[in-house]
Amino acid sequence: MIQNKKKAYEIDMCSDPLLPKLLLFAIPLILSGILQLLFNAADMIIIGKYAETPELAEHGIAAIGATSSMINFFVNVAIGISVGSNVTVARYFGGHRPEDVRNAVHTSILLSLLLGFGIGVIAICFSRPLLILMGTPEEVLDQASLYVRIYFAGLPVMMLYNFGSAILRAVGDTKRPLHYLTAAGVLNVILNYCFVRFLHMNVEGVALATVLSQILSASLVLRCLIKSEGSYRLNLRELKLHPHIVKKILRVGLPAGVQGMIFSTSNMLIQSSVNFFGPTAMAGNSACMNLEGFVYTSMNSFYQTVISFVSQNLGAGKYKRINKILLSCLLLVTITGLVMGNAFVHFGHELLGFYVKEGNDAMIEYGLNRMKIIMTVYCLCGIMDVLCGAIRGLGYGIMPMIVSLIGACGFRVLWIFTFFQSHHTLKNLYISYPISWAITAMVHIICFMIVRRKLPKENRE
pLDDT in tens, the chain (461 residues): 444 455 567 788 888 889 999 999 999 988 887 777 766 667 777 877 766 667 777 677 777 777 777 787 777 777 788 888 998 999 899 888 999 999 999 999 999 999 899 989 998 998 899 888 877 888 888 888 998 899 999 999 999 998 999 999 988 888 898 899 889 888 988 998 898 888 888 888 888 998 999 999 999 999 999 998 889 999 999 999 999 999 999 888 888 888 777 777 777 677 777 777 777 787 788 788 878 888 988 999 999 899 999 998 998 889 989 999 999 999 999 999 999 999 999 998 888 887 766 656 788 888 888 889 999 999 999 999 999 999 999 988 889 889 988 887 788 888 888 888 888 788 888 888 899 999 999 999 999 999 999 888 777 65
Q: Residue 321: how many CB atoms within 10 A of its CB?
A: 21
Identify whether the C-beta of residue 304 lies closer than 8 Å to the C-beta of residue 47. Answer: no
Please state, in angstroms and rounded to a whole number, the distance separating the CA atoms of residues 139 and 279: 9
Identify whether the C-beta of residue 85 lies closer than 8 Å to the C-beta of residue 251. Answer: no
Determine the length of the chain: 461
pLDDT of res. 461: 57
pLDDT of res. 40: 64
pLDDT of res. 1: 41
3-state secondary structure of 235: coil
Please state, in angstroms and rounded to a whole number, the distance separating the CA atoms of residues 311 and 88: 8
Please state, in angstroms and rounded to a whole number, the distance separating the CA atoms of residues 36 and 133: 28
pLDDT of res. 2: 43
3-state secondary structure of 96: coil
Identify whether the C-beta of residue 301 lies closer than 8 Å to the C-beta of residue 26. Answer: yes
**Alpha carbon of 214 to those of 116, 157, 289: distances in Å?**
13, 6, 22
**Alpha carbon of 44 to those of 6, 18, 60, 221: distances in Å?**
38, 39, 8, 27
Rounded (10°) CA dihedral 223, 224, 229, 234: -50
Identify whether the C-beta of residue 111 lies closer than 8 Å to the C-beta of residue 85. Answer: yes
pLDDT of res. 445: 95
Please state, in angstroms and rounded to a whole number, the distance separating the CA atoms of residues 232 and 389: 23
Alpha helices in 317-431 (DSSP H): 321-346, 348-353, 361-374, 379-393, 398-404, 411-417, 419-422, 426-430
pLDDT of res. 185: 84
Q: Where are the domains of the chain?
A: 9-452
In 3D space, the residue among 25, 24, 31 whose CA is nearest the CA of residue 305 turns out to be: 25
